[in-house]
Chains A and B, each alone.
Chain A
Amino acid sequence: MSDIHALSGAYAVDALDDEERSQFERHLEVCPECRAEVRSFSETAALVAETSSETPPPSLRDSVLSGIGSIRPLPPVTAPTTTPADPASAPGTVHTLRRRTFPLLVAASVALILLAVGTFAWHPWSGSSTTNLADQIMQAPDAVRVTEPVPGGGKLTIVRSASLKRAVMVGSDVPAPKPGTTYQMWLQQPGLGMVSAGLMPDADQPTVLAGDAATAQAAAVSVEPETGSAQPTSDPIALFPLPTSTTGNGTT
Chain B
Amino acid sequence: MTYLRSVPADPPPEGGGSVGAHLAELLKRASLGDEGAFAEWYDATSARAFGLAVRVLRDRAQAEEVTQEAYLECWRHAARFDPAKGSAISWLLTIVHRKAVDRVRSAEASSRRDEAYSHKEQTVDHDSTAEAASASLEAKRVRAALSDLTLKQRQAVELAFLGGYTHTEVARMLDLPIGTAKTRIRDGLIRLRDALGVGEVAQA
Binding site for B on A (CB under 8 A): 6-10, 12-17, 36, 39-57, 59-61, 63-65, 67-69, 71-77, 112-113, 115-116, 119-120, 123-127, 129
Contacts and interface: CB of A to CB of B under 8 A. Distances in A.
B10 A53 contact: yes
A65 B41 CA distance: 11
13 contacts: A10-B182, A13-B157, A14-B161, A43-B193, A45-B93, A46-B93, A47-B138, A49-B52, A50-B48, A64-B68, A67-B72, A76-B31, A120-B80
Nearest to B187: A9
Given A8-B186, A39-B202, A71-B76, A54 B47 contact: yes
B184 to A, nearest CB: 8
A51 B139 contact: yes
B160 A125 contact: no
Contact of B136 (A6, A46, A50, A77): A50
A126 B77 contact: yes
Interface of B: 10, 13, 15, 30-33, 35, 38-39, 42-43, 46-52, 54-55, 63-64, 67-68, 71-73, 75-82, 84-87, 89-91, 93-95, 97-99, 101, 126-127, 129-130, 132-133, 136, 138-139, 142-143, 146, 157-158, 160-162, 164-168, 170, 181-183, 185-190, 192-193, 196, 198-199, 201-204
Residue of A40, A71, A126 contacting most chain B CB atoms (<10 Å): A40
A17 B165 CA distance: 9
A50 B142 contact: yes
A56 B77 contact: no
A51 B146 contact: yes
B31 A44 contact: no
B81 A125 contact: yes
B133 A116 contact: no
B47 A43 contact: no
A50 B133 contact: yes
B13 A50 contact: yes
Contact of A52 (B46, B78, B94, B162): B162
A182 to B, nearest CB: 22
Given A10-B167, A17-B166, A53-B139, A64 B72 contact: yes
A123 B98 CA distance: 10
B101 A47 contact: no
Contacts of B95: 119, 123
A46 B89 contact: yes
A12 B189 contact: yes
A47 B78 CA distance: 21
B168 to A, nearest CB: 7
A41 B87 contact: no
Contacts of A47: 13, 138, 142, 192, 196, 198
Given A65-B42, A129-B77, 16 more contacts: A9-B185, A10-B160, A13-B160, A17-B168, A36-B203, A45-B94, A47-B192, A48-B192, A49-B52, A50-B136, A51-B130, A56-B67, A74-B77, A76-B31, A77-B79, A126-B91
B182 to A, nearest CB: 4
Contact of A41 (B49, B55, B193): B193
Contacts of B76: 71-74, 112-113, 116
